[in-house]
């Protein structure tokens, strides 16, 4: 029996950052987790998309019970059973529509942000590498990217491109004022950090970059015209910084309360602005309680994002129409899969006759095309051929079969 498509998980709309970070998955996590979930739950195909704003699982399964089991197994692996109340579940057409919206960035915190396409591709690449994605999810992936491209080229959602990194810089401008007079430290040289650095360079601020791998910090600082600093000396030069943007892949806090207390004493408690756009968070939330520290995490960026997106939201409505068009096409393909066993059986029944009767090959082709186009009539078409075609000998019989197949 053919399964159905499911989309489930958490995102910035359904769960706070502390829940999302508990169940977030690195690429190495995915390589171990995906095969286990597929085998242990009994689903046919599974893929996990894990970003700073969402941890979502896309599944093809013949049974909803298998999907429920997969959810429990995943949360048990993460030691986060209590997160289940934040989990959303979508099925069938609704699930396909959701996946297409995610790939098109219409479901992003920052509508139109470009990072999701790369993240989406990477998630499915990992699933393919470990063998947990197959015919159904591969097709979902292919059509989701097609839908994403259409939305980006046929609407204005990518105008004046923004991202979470851009929102972080906008928040810094709003609170700190003219960033050209500010000393900005970027902690971490990952994708999000590089994007923030790009925006900061355009503004003209004084930029410093540190990373656990000094060579990477050096390379980015040379590209952006900033200065690279040694990660192990972070506390020594933090007192000279006005703004600190943290974006690393560390699973633990990089900046703690005791460290920032010492830094602020050396700054004579001049205000410092810290934006933590890492998931899991890399700055201890307790840091926000220190006098003259303004700490914001990724969820705090929502307000800034919303203020910058009125235009894009109008364009997103056009994108929704495009997505529904693509979803309907995909669901038609899913329906056509139901007749595949009939088609294969039909081909098997007539393969010897086709060699003897070239005209029959054309009739079979038409019948198969009609079965795919109109799955509801597939059984009727199949029955006519299974009853009549085996007895076909010569042109007169072929004509009779053709008329019957046409409904005459």
88 strand-pairing partners: 9
Closest to 290 in 3D by CA, of 261, 319, 266: 261
Question: What are the backbone dihedrals phi and psi of residue 273, each rounded to the nearest 5 degrees, phi first?
Answer: -110, 120
Q: Does 205 qualify as catalytic in the annotation?
A: no
In angstroms, rounded to a whole number, what is the distance separating the alpha carbons of residues 179 and 97? 41
CATH annotation of 4-160: 3.30.460.30
**For 194-229, how does the pLDDT look when each residue is reduced to its tens digit (9 = 90+)?**
777 778 878 888 899 999 989 988 988 888 888 999
Most confidently modeled of 124-128, 181-185, 207-211, 397-401? 124-128
Q: Which pLDDT value is given to residue 196?
A: 78
Catalytic residue among 25, 47, 52, 205: 52
> Domain-by-domain residue ranges, the chain?
4-160, 164-303, 341-405
Closest to 56 in 3D by CA, of 131, 165, 129, 144: 144
Backbone Cα Rg of the chain:
28
pTM of the predicted model, to two decimals? 0.64
Q: Which pLDDT value is given to residue 293?
A: 94
In angstroms, rounded to a whole number, what is the distance separating the alpha carbons of residues 276 and 257? 14
Q: Which pLDDT value is given to residue 345?
A: 64
Mean pLDDT in the chain?
85
Please, are residues 246 and 276 in contact by the beta-carbon 8 Å criterion?
yes
How far apart, in Å, do the first and last CA atoms of the chain sit? 32
- If one compares 222 and 344, the residue with the highest pLDDT of the two is 222
In angstroms, rounded to a whole number, what is the distance separating the alpha carbons of residues 14 and 6? 17
In angstroms, rounded to a whole number, what is the distance separating the alpha carbons of residues 213 and 218? 9
Does the pLDDT at position 113 exceed 70?
yes
In angstroms, rounded to a whole number, what is the distance separating the alpha carbons of residues 254 and 203? 27
Most confidently modeled of 115-129, 199-213, 393-407? 115-129
Residues contacting 313, CB < 8 A, separation 6+: 111
**For 39-66, how does the pLDDT look when each residue is reduced to its tens digit (9 = 90+)?**
999 999 999 999 989 999 999 999 999 9
Q: Return the structure tokens found at 171.
A: 């928040």
**For 125-165, how does the pLDDT look when each residue is reduced to its tens digit (9 = 90+)?**
999 999 999 999 999 999 999 999 999 999 988 776 566 77
Q: What letter does residue 366 receive in the DSSP assignment? A: H
**For 283-317, how does the pLDDT look when each residue is reduced to its tens digit (9 = 90+)?**
999 999 999 999 998 888 777 777 777 778 888 89
Assign 101 a pLDDT band (cuts: 50, 70, 90).
very high
3.40.50.720, 1.10.150.20, 3.40.718.10, 3.30.70.890: CATH of 164-303: 3.40.50.720
Q: Which pLDDT value is given to residue 347?
A: 64
In angstroms, rounded to a whole number, what is the distance separating the alpha carbons of residues 291 and 138? 52
Q: Report the interhelical angle of 64-78 vs 27-41 (nearest 10°).
A: 140
5 strand-pairing partners: 60
3-state secondary structure of 105: coil
Q: Which pLDDT value is given to residue 395?
A: 46
Residues contacting 59, CB < 8 A, separation 6+: 5, 6, 7, 8, 43, 45, 46, 47, 67, 70
Q: Which pLDDT value is given to residue 202?
A: 82
Of 51-60, 256-265, 379-388, 397-406, the least confident: 397-406
Cα angle 92, 382, 402 (rounded to 5 degrees) comes to: 130
């Amino acid at each position: 029996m053919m399964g159905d498509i499911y989309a489930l998980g958490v995102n910035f709309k359904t769960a706070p950052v502390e829940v999302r970070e508990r169940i977030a998955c690195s690429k190495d996590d995915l390589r171990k987790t995906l095969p286990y979930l597929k085998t242990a739950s009994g689903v046919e195909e599974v893929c996990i998309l894990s970003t700073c704003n969402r941890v979502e699982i896309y599944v093809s399964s013949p049974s909803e019970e298998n999907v429920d089991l997969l959810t429990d197994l995943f949360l048990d692996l993460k030691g986060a059973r209590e997160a289940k109340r934040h989990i959303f579940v979508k099925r069938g057409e609704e699930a396909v529509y959701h996946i297409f919206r995610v790939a098109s960035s219409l479901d992003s915190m920052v509508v139109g942000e470009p990072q999701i396409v790369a993240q989406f591709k990477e998630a499915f690449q990992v699933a393919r590498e470990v063998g947990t994605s197959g015919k159904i999810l591969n097709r979902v992936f292919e059509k989701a990217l097609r839908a994403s491209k259409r939305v980006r080229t046929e609407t204005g959602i990518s105008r004046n491109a923004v991202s979470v990194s851009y929102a972080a810089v906008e928040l810094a401008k709003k609170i700190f004022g003219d960033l050209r007079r500010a000393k900005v430290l970027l902690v971490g040289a990952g994708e999000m950090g590089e994007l923030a650095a790009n925006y900061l360079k355009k503004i003209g601020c004084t930029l410093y970059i540190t990373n656990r791998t000094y060579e990477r910090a050096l390379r980015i600082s040379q590209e952006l015209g900033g200065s690279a600093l040694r990660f192990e000396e972070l506390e020594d030069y933090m007192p000279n910084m006005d703004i600190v943007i943290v974006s690393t892949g560390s699973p633990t806090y990089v900046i703690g309360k005791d460290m920032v207390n010492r830094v602020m004493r050396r700054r004579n408690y001049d205000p410092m602005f810290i934006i933590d756009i890492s998931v899991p968070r890399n700055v201890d939330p307790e840091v926000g309680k220190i006098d003259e520290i303004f700490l914001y995490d990724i969820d705090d960026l929502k307000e800034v994002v919303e203020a910058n997106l009125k235009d894009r939201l109008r364009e997103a409505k056009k994108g929704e129409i495009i997505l529904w068009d693509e979803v309907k096409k995909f669901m038609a393909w899913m329906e056509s899969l139901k007749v595949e066993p009939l088609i294969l059986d039909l081909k098997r029944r007539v393969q010897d006759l086709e060699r003897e009767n070239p005209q029959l090959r054309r009739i079979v082709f038409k019948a198969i095309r009609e079965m795919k186009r109109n799955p509801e009539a597939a059984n009727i078409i199949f029955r006519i051929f299974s009853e009549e075609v085996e007895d076909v000998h010569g042109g007169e019989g072929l004509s009779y079969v053709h008329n019957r197949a046409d409904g005459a």
